[in-house]
Amino acid sequence: MFNDSVILVTGGTGSFGHKFLHMVLSQYNPRKVIVYSRDEMKQWEMAKLFAGDERVRFFIGDVRDRDRIYRALDGVDYVVHAAATKIVPTAEYNPFECVKTNVLGAMNLIDACIDKGVKRVVALSTDKASSPVNLYGATKLTSDKLFVAGNSYAGGHETRFSVVRYGNVMGSRGSVIPFFLSMRDKGVLPITDPRMTRFMISLEEGVELVWHAFEDMEGGEIYVKKIPSMKVTDLARVVAPDARQEIVGIRPGEKLHEQMIGEEDALHTYEYPDHYKILPAINKWDQDVNRIKGGTRVAEDFNYSSHNNAEWMSDAQLQAWIERNWDKIGAI
Look at residue 121 in the predicted model and tell me its pLDDT: 98
CATH code, 217 = 3.40.50.720
The enclosing H or E element of 146 equals helix 135-153
Look at residue 22 in the predicted model and tell me its pLDDT: 96
> What is the rounded average pLDDT of the residues 41-53?
95
How does pLDDT run across 87-116, given as a tens digit for each residue?
888 999 999 999 999 999 999 999 999 999
Q: Using an 8 Å Cβ cutoff, are 224 and 302 in contact?
A: no
Domain count across the chain? 1
Question: What does the alpha-carbon distance between residue 270 and residue 287 come to, in Å, rounded to a whole number?
Answer: 11
Look at residue 326 in the predicted model and tell me its pLDDT: 85
Residue 1 lies in a domain: no
Look at residue 1 in the predicted model and tell me its pLDDT: 87
Q: Identify the active-site residue in 19, 42, 116, 128.
A: 128
How does pLDDT run across 163-195, given as a tens digit for each residue?
999 887 888 877 889 889 888 889 999 999 999
Look at residue 325 in the predicted model and tell me its pLDDT: 86
Question: What does the alpha-carbon distance between residue 246 and residue 320 come to, in Å, rounded to a whole number?
Answer: 26
Which sign, positive or negative, has the C-alpha torsion 241, 245, 249, 252? negative
Residue 250 lies in a domain: yes
Is residue 27 predicted with pLDDT exceeding 80?
A: yes
Residue 331 lies in a domain: no
Is residue 7 predicted with pLDDT exceeding 70?
A: yes
Is residue 128 flagged as an active site residue? yes
What are the C-alpha distances in Å from 147 to residues 1, 150, 154, 230, 271? 22, 5, 10, 31, 22
Measuring CA to CA, which residue among 17, 15, 113, 24 is closest to residue 63?
113
| Overall pTM > 0.75 | yes
- Give one DSSP letter per residue of 192-236, joined into a string: S-TT-EEE-B-HHHHHHHHHHHHHH-SSS-EEEE---EEEHHHHH
CA angle (125 as vertex; 305, 158 as ends), nearest 5 = 130
Query: How far does Cα 300 stand from its chain's mean position?
Result: 26
Is residue 17 predicted with pLDDT exceeding 70?
A: yes
Residue 329 lies in a domain: no
Segments of 38-193 assigned E as strands: 56-60, 78-81, 120-126, 160-166, 188-191
Residue 332 lies in a domain: no
Residue 30 lies in a domain: yes
Domain that holds residue 208: 6-324
> What is the rounded average pLDDT of the residues 106-134?
97
Question: What's the DSSP call for residue 39?
Answer: -
How does pLDDT run across 195-253, given as a tens digit for each residue?
999 999 999 999 999 999 999 999 999 999 999 999 999 999 999 998 999 999 987 77
Is residue 332 predicted with pLDDT exceeding 70?
A: no
Residue 175 lies in a domain: yes
Is residue 330 predicted with pLDDT exceeding 90?
A: no
Look at residue 137 in the predicted model and tell me its pLDDT: 96
> What is the rounded average pLDDT of the residues 310-325?
93
Residue 300 lies in a domain: yes
pLDDT category at 331 given cuts 50, 70, 90 is low
